[in-house]
């Protein structure tokens, strides 16, 4: 593996560790893996970057008197997190690669924490 590829992988791993996510969308330029971190997406392969507008900021600037979260927003978030938890549980059970199991288990743990926090907000 070349030092350039090694550096790209280390940079991608660093972004993921700090909370970045794989987008599931291929890079528009090279078809490589894209990571979203903050308001920026970056291709691991070619380094192409794109700034994405954060949704929450747009909502707050459109109508500053409207509350940031409504009960329907929280209910939607709860539903999404529950679906992700079910999907991850199934994927972990079917996965043979221990490293991928670990990654998915870590993500599952994060989803469970988020779900717990969102449920406490809606109570």
76 and 104 fall within a common domain? yes
**Band (103; pLDDT cuts 50, 70, 90):** very high
Q: Please tell me whether residues 107 and 68 are part of one structural domain.
A: yes
Same domain? 104 vs 70: yes
Same-domain status, 48 and 60: no
Domain that holds residue 77: 56-122
Mean pLDDT estimate for the chain: 80
Within this chain, do residues 73 and 113 fall inside the same structural domain, yes or no?
yes
- The answer on 29 and 11 residing in a single domain is yes
**Directed axis angle between helix 98-122 and helix 71-94, to 10°?**
160
pTM: 0.44
Summarised one tens digit per residue, pLDDT across range 37-93 is 888 888 888 888 888 765 554 444 555 554 555 777 888 888 888 998 899 889 988
Give the total number of structural domains in the chain.
Answer: 2
The confidence score (pLDDT) of residue 1 equals 54
Burial of 2 (0-12, 13-18, 19+ CB in 10 A): exposed
């Amino acid at each position: 593996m070349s030092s350039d590829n090694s550096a790209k992988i280390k940079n991608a791993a660093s972004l993921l560790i700090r909370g970045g996510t794989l987008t599931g969308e291929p890079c528009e330029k090279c078809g490589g893996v894209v990571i979203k971190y903050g308001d920026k997406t970056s291709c691991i392969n070619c380094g192409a970057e794109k700034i994405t507008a954060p949704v929450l900021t747009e909502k707050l600037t459109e109508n500053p008197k409207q509350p940031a979260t409504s009960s329907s927003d929280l209910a939607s978030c709860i539903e999404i997190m529950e679906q992700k938890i079910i999907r991850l549980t199934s994927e972990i059970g079917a996965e043979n690669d221990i490293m991928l199991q670990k990654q998915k288990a870590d993500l599952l743990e994060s989803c469970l924490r988020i779900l717990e926090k969102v449920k406490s907000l809606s109570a």
